[in-house]
Homo-oligomer: A and B are copies of this chain.
Amino acid sequence: MPRPPRGRNIMNMQPKLSDAQNATVRAVLDQVKASGRTALTAPEGKVVCDAYGIAVPQEGVATSADEAVALATRMGLPVVLKIVSPDILHKTEAGGVLVGVKSAEEVRAGYDRILANAKAYKADARIDGIQVQQMLTGGTEVIIGSITDGSFGKLVAFGLGGVLVEVLKDITFRLAPATKADALSMLDGIQAAEMLHGVRGGDPVDREALSDMIVRVSQLVTDFPEIVELDLNPVFATKSGAIAADVRIVVDFDPAPARHRPSQDEIVTSMNRIMKPEAVAVIGASSEDGKIGNSVMKNLINGGYKGQIYPIHPKADEILGYKAYRSVKDVPGVIDAAVFAIPAKFVAAALIECGEKAIPGAVLIPSGFAETGNEEGQREIQEIGRKYNIRLMGPNIYGFYYTPANLCATFCTAYDVKGSAALSSQSGGIGMAIIGFSRSAKMGVSAIVGLGNKSDLDEDDLLTFFEQDDNTKIIAQHCEDLKDGRSFAEVARRVSKKKPVVVLKAGRTSAGAKAASSHTGALAGNDKIYEDVFKQVGVIRARSLRQLLEFARGVPVMPTPKGENVVIITGAGGSGVLLSDACVDNGLQLMSMPDDLDAAFRKFIPPFGAAGNPVDITGGEPPTTYKNTIKLGLQDDRIHSIILGYWHTIITPPMVFAKLVVEVKEEMKALGIEKPIVASLAGDVQVEEAAEYLYAHGVPAYAYSTELPVEVLGAKYKWARGAGLL
């Protein structure tokens, strides 16, 4: 197959189009719109592809045998010859088609034969010429396409062609526009990626040409939002090019209006006032035990919040020792956030008062909005929020915690263990699990935020705030949907370069998605799209609630690894095997041990200890063996991370092990050496105390599990790779 036209070198840049090319596509779309169609014809599709340098089979009409030969030679042989005549509808029947025409001589002979056949078939037919069309053969059939997702907007897709791939759903997505790097990652991102490398002696595909086509398609649909679906199916990918044999383009000239998004500065300004307020009003504050407005007041007070607290109550003069006001408008000073603890039906009126008082944030605890079918009520408060420029958290939430300000703006129990993880949840139940786990695991947090119905504030607002919040080192979010996946992805792409972003996307599976739908009325997205987009923008995906929590706890305590080489040092060979399994499961690379390093380790371990990686120091060893091998692991530059497998023995009891690990770690740190270390502890219950000690000293450690420590290290690596640090 001949090399298709390539256009400019676009490695790491988007193809730039001339105004003329753009105008060509615009003209085609205008024509489609004018004729009231929703799809392009094949010739229109070809014009669009040509304008964007997307290779389609070349073709031309010849009116002489010489011209046919010239055309065929230019586009490359073999070709297909077809009669062009308005009077001949059944070309094949008329002997008007020749496929697989392989040489100039055959083209010449074919031209004459078709003409003769046509005349024999219908003597008086008007003949406009013979179409010469590039013939696509061989290579690997792939699909390149684009869809418009309700949450993520324009996506570009890639997969192999054929029914087996359809059955296996082996297709990958990226946000459009896709960079060259995105496009190349798609070629590796399908299960059957090996097929593209050439198997059983077949040719590898031209990765440059294929990825180029992906980039161009993604740019086309970005430039022309009215293109809602596009399919190049099949694309013939050979070792020297890629040509789309068929083009299908669907348009929609009446797209949904874009969602309002405040600017990044506006978000940061409002969010800083809401999360770190100097004064908080509690609308519906109460002196009565058991009332939500009472719990909120107590939590603010007992949580140690130092700012102003203004209880708002229609009648009371004072609540829990604080002067009460009839309305926020009666409060003399500035208010940064108003926590709502009143029934849904009173929210709108109170919110207008907040607007008149110029309060930038409303924390809407009340339920009774969209989640109970009251869409109208939710729309009403959204409109008030927009009108007065009040950001709304919720409704239908437990509130939020921001520990650096000792702020517990919630009806749940107070929480005060300060730390660097900021968590959020769409669901109140999950929020409570976050609080319980955090307290139990002694995981310090900077914030816990309930997002509930997400009438306004959502995951990307939080990302934007936590990005610039020096108290936060990792952001972990539970969500059931993303109202604006496109915006989330764009923010997450930026933020994840600086701080790990972990997301537990509930409703992964079809049964889960159905439950999500009945819970929030949100349309659950296609899980594969979430999977691919999260990866594209550097978001670490948690597979379970426990993973979300463990990642939030473990990832920030470790330094960032400087490379991919992981070494396992273990006292239990059995743990070594399971830890190795876990490394593969979590995409970690067990270092292939260099001979000199192997020899260096061997000096410290018994002669029957196992060579290589895992380093099996064997079970009966004293503390010095652990110490020497761990120190060597930290000192050698070729090793980037260490996984420890401890085996409880009388000779090296759990706390002795834990303390020696911390000691070696601190000693190396003083010399400027810091590497991630995680530990799996096998032993009697004393290992639990040892694990806690290790965790408190920056070594994520787990008793009775060979999986969890490796999952946490794996998450750190995923982040570092996504942020371009590896």
Contact = CB atoms under 8 A, between A and B. Distances in A.
A594 interface: no
Interface residues of A, number: 102
Given A290-B650, A574-B429, A440 B512 contact: no
Copy count, this protein chain: 2
9 contacts: A164-B164, A164-B192, A426-B574, A427-B575, A427-B577, A430-B574, A506-B574, A515-B580, A518-B612
A72 to B, nearest CB: 31
A272 to B, nearest CB: 28
Among the interface residues A373, A437, A570, which one has the most CB atoms of the partner chain B within 10 A?
Answer: A437
A403 to B, nearest CB: 16
Contacts of A682: 429-430, 432-433, 436
Contacts of A168: 168, 191-192
Interface stretch (A328-336, A634-642, A705-713): A705-713
Among the interface residues A202, A429, A687, which one has the most CB atoms of the partner chain B within 10 A?
Answer: A429
Given A436-B703, A647-B429, A706-B545, A577 B512 contact: yes
Given A546-B707, A580-B512, A612-B518, A575 B429 contact: yes
Interface stretch (A40-48, A356-364, A378-386, A583-591): A583-591
A544 interface: yes
A200 interface: yes
Contact of A581 (B507, B568, B582): B507
A412 interface: yes
Contact of A437 (B163, B166, B704): B704
B508 A581 contact: yes
A433 B684 CA distance: 7
7 residue pairs, one from A and one from B, having the closest CB atoms: A427-B574, A429-B572, A372-B608, A512-B581, A509-B584, A519-B573, A433-B682
A27 to B, nearest CB: 36
A76 to B, nearest CB: 27
Nearest to A616: B519
Among the interface residues A167, A195, A545, A575, which one has the most CB atoms of the partner chain B within 10 A?
Answer: A545
Contact of A545 (B437, B516, B704): B704
Contact of A706 (B412, B544, B681): B544
A18 to B, nearest CB: 40
A162 to B, nearest CB: 8
B545 A511 contact: no
Given A611-B518, A683-B436, A577 B480 contact: yes
A510 interface: yes
A412 B290 CA distance: 52
B581 A506 contact: yes
A321 to B, nearest CB: 22
A281 interface: no
Interface in A393-437: 412-413, 425-430, 432-433, 435-437
A413 B195 contact: no
A442 B166 CA distance: 49
Contact of A440 (B195, B506, B703): B703
A544 B707 contact: yes
A599 interface: no
Contacts of A1: none
B166 A412 contact: no
Contact of A684 (B413, B426, B685): B413
Contact of A435 (B200, B507, B570, B684): B684
A508 B160 CA distance: 29
A318 interface: no
A577 B192 contact: no
Contact of A584 (B425, B512, B576, B703): B512
A199 B581 contact: no
A578 interface: yes
Contact of A590 (B295, B440, B511, B614): B511
Contact of A199 (B166, B192, B515): B166
Given A413-B684, A507-B580, A509-B583, 6 more contacts: A295-B650, A425-B574, A506-B581, A515-B610, A544-B706, A545-B704
A616 B663 CA distance: 51
A284 B6 CA distance: 80
Interface string A542-566: 0011100100000000000000000
A439 interface: yes
A616 B518 contact: yes
A26 to B, nearest CB: 36
Contacts of A429: 570-575, 619, 645, 647, 682
A372 B607 CA distance: 8
Interface in A331-379: 367-368, 371-373
A570 B518 CA distance: 13
A614 B512 CA distance: 9
A620 B163 CA distance: 50
A580 B511 contact: yes
A572 B430 contact: yes
Contacts of A705: 544-546
A573 B427 contact: yes
Contacts of A437: 703-704
A446 interface: no
Nearest to A711: B544
